[in-house]
Structure 1
């Protein structure tokens, strides 16, 4: 069975319509503040390329089933496109468009020479055997091989996929080419060209940004209390990294519910309980709470690391955190943003907070092209540099333009992509 590489708890309701609306609203606001010409707005508001494929897969029973998949490339002005592939029964083309657009801004904000892309297959991987998932993956890779490649578009894991899926994609493309092509995907197993530190990169990158933001606000690291919604790869990594830095995690949840202890949770014990039972619910030395209640816990930092659209105008006024660090994509609606900003809550937006994954994917791509690999310490040093530099640039724009960090992040990212489009010109 394929397990998700991002957040197991994210494999729930689709985020399609809400997320696309959220992303386009933020782009429109940034474009207005930048006084972006209408011709550039038209180019950047929609994907540059969209591929929809319908392909057959032989099930273990011998029955042939047709699946639908997508690969969307939002913008190619700054370089090849980059973005994950998700397997989910409710994924849609609109959701894939939104995620590809987010990847463009995320890569530009981090200073990576990429545009944004996203891929998806409408499938519940939990209902397929390992053999069926491999056959589906290899056929999907073949279908999208016309648009992916080390210098064109580089996929990575996302919801419902993992390093093994990336290995199958790499092998499929390599068979087509007649030689090994390690840089065609990132998030691969280390023994076939993956990067040290890639699995932990999203959560670790968030803690680097969080630490720098805490210093900016004058907070003592050892006094910080975190509440984390989501206990998959990202949420659990944030919890472990935060505790290692001296912070306390007082609330943690997954799709079934959460646990709470105002004096701090024993993270390793809770993660062991989850590994044994499938959920954090019922862990010892902790009270139970719902995912909705977790958002409103009194804490210093709230980390939504699961679903989009969980912080809304209805509950934003009850959120008591000083900092919201968005590990998930689009967890805060635009109306909620305004409420949090007005009361002085610092929201570290998704395109900044969770950019650690694509940053180390970039490092993996570079290593693959050069066939020269770095230690985990080297990877983490460079990750910290990229993430903290991005935060400092966003804080500068936020202060200069008197806008929140999300608006400042979008302004920086959109301007960089618009500049690339303008410099390259319109072909022919």
Structure 2
């Protein structure tokens, strides 16, 4: 039976030749922490360390390198929340092409700055990738610039698929590959490469639950847009799967999973703390899925497992907020309100008791004007640093054993 897929292994191999002098394989790191957590051998494919900070350079350069001289003279236009923008901007600089990129309001400042730094003209419109795509297509129609889509083109998918070739070479006995998924370009490319060479390898996409267009689309048999999205993982916040990736994913991919916002935050923290890798929320989705499963991962998947870290372009301020959320989810921040008798020395007694419980007190606020308080009471709001959920539970119980009323914040 002839291969009717939009992207084949030959396409990916051809893309690899195009990229040979531009990109080098990104590192593959064994994660002892995730391996211990899941009972599987887990490796991390570090596309966060790729040129321009994500896998997007693979597809963008592949597509743009194949433009004719006449097309190059007209320039290119793209739409992106950041990673594709940087990939297009860098590829354009390397190829000597003028680039205009539409980015949403609210895009991370480092992504905006990097895109401009590579020489592209940045125009901010709307709040979603889909709105930016609409404006980029209008720009194409009005100016003749060539639209370089973020995922919905054969050359883009083929370029992203070179990541799959590297995975097979770096972990030859891999059995499962987990891929962060938005429009589907990376997932489709990896699947096209991997399934042609190793059909026994399971390839699974992972989406942010608050921007998950793929499960409903796969169930319907065609791309279905989501009505709304709200996720910190802006890099995979795509309202509708691409038509080109959809055919490949529907044919080859073994499953599609979703992860919540708290799980993503916890995964970003895990990667910073244990793997020493800065990864943006979109790039941590596959890791979040493994962390959600824990020891159940060994029942779902065969190892070795490769989790793709698709990007590392994150605003430091967002990273700070995410790390705080991750610490809270992991039980490392404990926020509570304690009602104590309003008498001299009581606050000192509470703080002394917390020191005895090996807590680090980060913030303390003393309130007398709180609804529901008795005249003889005060309320103390505290943020504490603990070693985890068990430690937090012991601290709360110790406070209650002393007779204090304790409420979580």
Question: With structure 2 as the length reference, what TM-score do the two structures score?
Answer: 0.31
Q: Of the two structures, which has the highest relative contact order with CA contacts closer than 8 Å and spacing of 6 or more? A: 1
